[in-house]
Structure formats: C-alpha cells, structure tokens
Amino acid sequence: MNDHLNISFLRRDLNCVEIGKEKLQLFYLNDKIVNELLDIQAAVDAKDRELVEYLRTHDIKEGIYEGGFKVWEGALDLANFLLSEECAYSLDGKEVLDIGCGAGLLGILAKKKNGSRIVMQDYNEAVLNCFTRNNFNINGVDTDHVEFVHGDWADVANSMQPKQFDVMLTAETIYNEESYAKLHDLMLKTLKDNGCVFLAAKLEYFGVGGSLGGFLFHVRKEGKFRADVQWTSKSAVPRKIVELRKL
C-alpha cells in the first residue's frame, strides 16, 4: 500500500513537534489521514477490519491494540533528553531497537542522528504500515537499514538474534504489569553486553495497574540490570527517564 501513496496526500495538515534546543522538527500524520489509511487497509485485510472497528470505541486493550496510533508524552520526553546536554550518549553508528515504536519518532530521531541500523517494533502491523512507515516518509528519512517488526514481545524476542543492539529506546511501555517479564526478557536477550536501554515512563498508570516502581521492582528481582534515573519531570503527573545496563 505505502509504495503507491502520494506524498502530498500524506503531508496534509501534518502534526509537528520541535525537539531539543536546536528545535529539530519531527512530523507525524494527523488522525484523519491515519483513519483513511486504516480504512484502505481494512478493505483488504480482515484482521485490520476488526482493529478499525475496535478503535472506534476503545483505547488500549491487551492483545488487540497497544496504543500505537497515539504520540505519548514519554516519547517526547525521551527525544528531548537524547538531544539535551544532560545526555552524553551518542546514537551515531549505533544499532537501535525502538520498542513499542508507535509513531516512530524515536527511531526517526535515531536515523537522523546517524544510527547505523534501526529496528522499529510495534504490537500491531497496521500501526507500522499506516503510521510508522509513513512518518519516516514525511520526515524525508530513508528506510535503508531500517526494519519493521510487529508482534508480541515474547514472539519478537524468540525471532531475533541475541545481543545485537547497542541501545534500546522505549516510552510508555510499562503500563501493564502483566507484560513486565516479556519486556525485560526482550531487553535481556537482544541487548549487547555493553549496551543500554533508555526507558521513559510515568510513575503511575492509573486505571491500568502499571507503574515505574513496579517495573523496577521486577528488574531488581531478576538481578540482570542496574537502573539509574537520568531525568525527572517537574509536571503534576511525574515522569522519569531511566537508563538500564546489564550487570
């Protein structure tokens, strides 16, 4: 589907965020365009018809839709952090996994900052096809050395070679405590021994059960990573960025 889309169609009424002191502009499709693309895809794919019907009345639902069509605050927090003076880490030449990528802004940023290989992962294939890939397109970022992978974290971990990524970027992915083990194991298996994970999250996900404290408790219990808080928001709903490294 994507190969035949007109760029002028995609670029109608784009959303834009400015990242860092350099005010790097990152664009993403507006909801109306995404819905039109979903309708096109749903016309030929039964599983996407089910997803489209679900999205009309629901938000996140485990095993059906994991929030990939929304740009979450944590993704913007992490993008800004990566371009800040507080962050000494360079993405240049790195192999990067964007976990729960959604709009793909973190992966797009990594590509713009000369990441050597970028893997974009989201639960829903429709998110990758209708949103993520097109956001690379409208940002003028080529997808050479960019891979798109969909599915449950356990399945993704089983399908990937071990110890291949220098860095993992993930935002707002710990809202469901039932998925902590799968996320932890994906990181453990596919991160290089000297690699790092940057995780952006709210302290609490009210109504869905997850929390940063709960995830870090799981990390400490497993004893495979050390975790250091690198940034804390000053907002009413506290948000943090945590760096994880293998012990």
| Bridge partners for 47 per DSSP | none
**CATH number assigned to the domain comprising residue 162:** 3.40.50.150
- Angle ∠(197,105,17) on CA atoms, nearest 5: 125
pLDDT in tens, the chain (247 residues): 444 457 778 888 899 999 999 999 999 999 899 888 888 877 777 666 777 666 655 565 666 665 778 899 999 999 999 999 999 999 999 999 999 999 999 999 999 999 999 999 999 888 999 899 999 999 999 999 999 999 999 999 999 999 999 999 999 999 999 999 999 999 999 999 999 999 999 999 987 789 999 999 999 999 999 999 999 999 888 999 999 999 9
Q: How far apart are CA 193 and CA 245, in angstroms?
A: 8
Range of the domain at 164: 3-246
Q: What element of type H or E holds 25?
A: strand 24-28
Dihedral (CA of 90, 92, 93, 95) sign: positive
Instruction: Pick the closest to residue 7 from 31, 27, 35 (CA basis).
Output: 27
Tell me the H-state helices in the chain: 7-10, 31-42, 46-55, 73-82, 105-112, 125-127, 133-138, 153-159, 180-190, 212-222
CA distances from 148 to 19, 98, 218 (A): 24, 10, 28
Helix (H, G, I), strand (E, B) or coil at 35: helix
Task: Please provide the DSSP assignment of 105-125 as one string.
Answer: HHHHHHHHTT-SEEEEEES-H
DSSP for 42-79? HTT-HHHHHHHHHHTT-S-BTTTB-STTS--HHHHHHH
Residue (of 126, 102, 152, 101) closest to 2 by Cα position: 126
Length of the chain: 247
- Residue 34's pLDDT is 87
Q: Please give the tally of structural domains in the chain.
A: 1
Q: What is the pLDDT, as a whole number, of residue 2?
A: 47
pLDDT in tens, 134-180: 999 999 999 999 999 999 999 999 999 999 999 999 999 999 999 99
Phi first, then psi: give them for residue 50, nearest 5 degrees: -65, -40
Strand (E) or helix (H) holding 165: strand 165-171
The rounded distance, in Å, linking the Cα atoms of 167 and 144 is 19
pLDDT at position 48: 67
